[in-house]
Each structure stands twice: as structure tokens, then as C-alpha cells.
Amino acid sequence: MSAESPGEPMAGPVLPPSGPPWLSHRELQVLALVAEGRSNRQIGTALGLSPLTIKAHLYRIGKKLDSGDRAHMVALAMRAGVIV
């Protein structure tokens, strides 16, 4: 049963107001590059990591933000003010 009033939109996960400790510095770097529209390969090249490592970072970010969608993860981080 929900404590929200009928007619109120359901809110997404409530994020802490600061970056760390909920997202690491590297996860914030990856998310900022995702926000620029870069692919896993492009992000990996920019950070000196493999695309599979970027995929692993995105998986962990998704678990922390309760989202598997890149655009949704970016929107949540932007709303929290941790990326611009």
C-alpha cells in the first residue's frame, strides 16, 4: 500500500544530495560521459578502460540508482545535482 495521495505522481528513488559515497568518482566520470551521449567504447577510450569495464561500472551505477536505463540514470544524477 502506498502512502502517496491519489493523483500525485510516483517519485523515483530519492538520491542523497552529494556524490560520494553513493557513487564513486569513477562512476561519476562514466555517468558524465554517458550524459554526453558517448558509447561504452568511447567512454573506455577516454578513460583508458575497456568497454567491458565501462559496462561493469554502468551495471553498478544502475544497481545503486535502481535503474537499468542509461537516460534514466543520467536524469537521476542530474536531478541530484551530481552531474550537469
51 found inside a domain? yes
74 found inside a domain? yes
Reply yes or no on whether the pLDDT at 12 is more than 70. Answer: no
DSSP 22-73: TS-HHHHHHHHHHHTT--HHHHHHHHT--HHHHHHHHHHHHHHHT---HHHH
pLDDT, tens digit, for every residue of 26-71? Answer: 999 999 999 999 999 999 999 999 999 999 999 999 999 989 899 9
CATH assignment of the domain containing 74: 1.10.10.10
Assigned C-alpha cell, 71 = 537516460
Q: How far is C-alpha 44 from the chain's CA centre? A: 16
Reply yes or no on whether the pLDDT at 22 is more than 90. Answer: no
Question: For residue 36, what pLDDT is reported?
Answer: 96
Phi and psi torsions of 20, nearest 5°: -65, 150
4 found inside a domain? no
Domain count, the chain: 1
Q: Domain range holding 43?
A: 25-79
Reply yes or no on whether the pLDDT at 1 is more than 60. Answer: no
84 found inside a domain? no
CA distances from 14 to 25, 57, 65 (A): 20, 21, 9
17 found inside a domain? no
